[in-house]
Structure formats: C-alpha cells, structure tokens
C-alpha cells in the first residue's frame, strides 16, 4: 500500500477506465520530448524510469488527497506495466521479482524525498535530489530548472479541482514547457 489511513478512502472500487486514463496520462507526461531535450533527462532505460517516477510521484501526491484507493490503483497499474516491460525486455521469471523489488524501493525513496522537498518549497533541495537520482550525479545544470518545473506542476495539480483532475488528468499536459526558453 502506498498511503496510510490519513488519506481519503472511498467505499467503492476505483473505475478501471479512470485508472487506465490516469496511468496513460502519467506515461504520456513522462514521454514528452522536452524533458529529454531542454531538461536533459538521459534518454536511457534508467532515465526513462526515473522520469516516470517523477511524474508518477506528482500524480500520486494529488490523487491521494482525493481518493487513496484510486491512488493505490494507479500505483498498482503503473508497476504492473513496469513488470510487463521487464518481461518484454527479456528478464526471466526468476529475475523479475529481484528487479521489481529494487525498482519499487527506488520509487518509494525518491517519492518520499520529492514529496518532502515539494511540501517545504525547497527547490534547491529538490534539485540536489534530482541531480543524484534523475541525472545520475551529472551536474548538467538542468536539475534546477527541472525542480522548478516540478514545483510549478505540484502547485498546478494542488490548485486543480479534484474531480476535474480525475476526469481530465491530461490538463497537466498544458503546463509542459516549450522546447525553448
């Protein structure tokens, strides 16, 4: 479980179409070329996974405020697809659990750090975490702009009506920055 009892719970099971729509939007956001060009996220398997973790974290922070069970369902759907991707990449049945354990641990650690930095409005601290995680220690000067974008995205999601966000998560694509400054 990703959340705790402090998050809202609903009495119904999340709608699979809603879960899929939220997951697809997270995935689409993580695939926006600008993050690989302007924000210099490494276009590697690790870079793509770490960017997916960034976007998923932003979404889950907001969804948990609205419906904890829906957040859990989006989390489960995402990592079901990650597992499928590992299998398609040729990771054998015995290796998948080991890889998933490592990937889940990485997500939990990163998400907790991002959440804390965003809650405290610590853009510079967030940039340090992004340098270590998203940029694998490369000090390419893109971490601070990426941290600023994450802060803006988090504020945008927080200010968006919960029902509207759940029904139309693609509105977050409106704040994807342009390719150039």
Residue with tokens 């709608």: 15
Q: Are 165 and 157 in contact (CB under 8 A)?
A: yes
How would you write the pLDDT of the chain (181 residues) with one tens digit per residue?
454 444 455 557 999 999 999 999 999 999 999 999 999 999 998 999 999 999 999 999 999 999 999 999 999 999 999 998 888 888 888 888 998 999 999 999 999 999 999 999 889 999 999 999 999 888 878 999 999 999 999 999 999 999 999 999 999 999 999 987 6
CA 89/CA 48 separation, integer angstroms:
14
pTM metric for this prediction = 0.89
Q: Do residues 22 and 63 touch, judged by C-beta distance below 8 A?
A: yes
Instruction: Tell me the C-alpha distance between 10 and 18, whole Å.
Output: 14
Residue 137's nearest CA partner among 52, 47, 49 is: 47
């Amino acid at each position: 479980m990703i959340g705790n009892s402090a998050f809202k719970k609903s009495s119904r099971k999340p709608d699979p179409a809603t879960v899929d729509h939220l997951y697809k939007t997270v995935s689409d956001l993580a695939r926006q070329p600008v993050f690989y060009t302007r924000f210099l996220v490494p276009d590697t398997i690790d870079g793509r996974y770490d960017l997916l973790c960034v976007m998923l974290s932003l979404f889950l922070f907001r969804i948990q405020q609205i419906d904890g069970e829906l957040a859990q369902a989006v989390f489960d759907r995402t990592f079901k697809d990650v597992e499928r991707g590992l299998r398609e990449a040729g990771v054998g049945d015995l290796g998948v659990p080991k890889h998933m354990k490592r990937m889940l641990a990485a997500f939990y650690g990163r998400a907790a750090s991002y959440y804390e930095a965003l809650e405290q409005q610590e853009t510079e601290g967030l940039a340090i975490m992004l340098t270590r995680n998203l940029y694998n220690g490369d000090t390419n000067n893109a971490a601070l702009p990426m941290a600023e974008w994450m802060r803006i995205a988090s504020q945008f999601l927080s200010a968006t009506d919960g029902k509207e966000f759940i029904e139309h998560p693609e509105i977050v694509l409106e704040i994807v920055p342009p390719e150039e400054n």
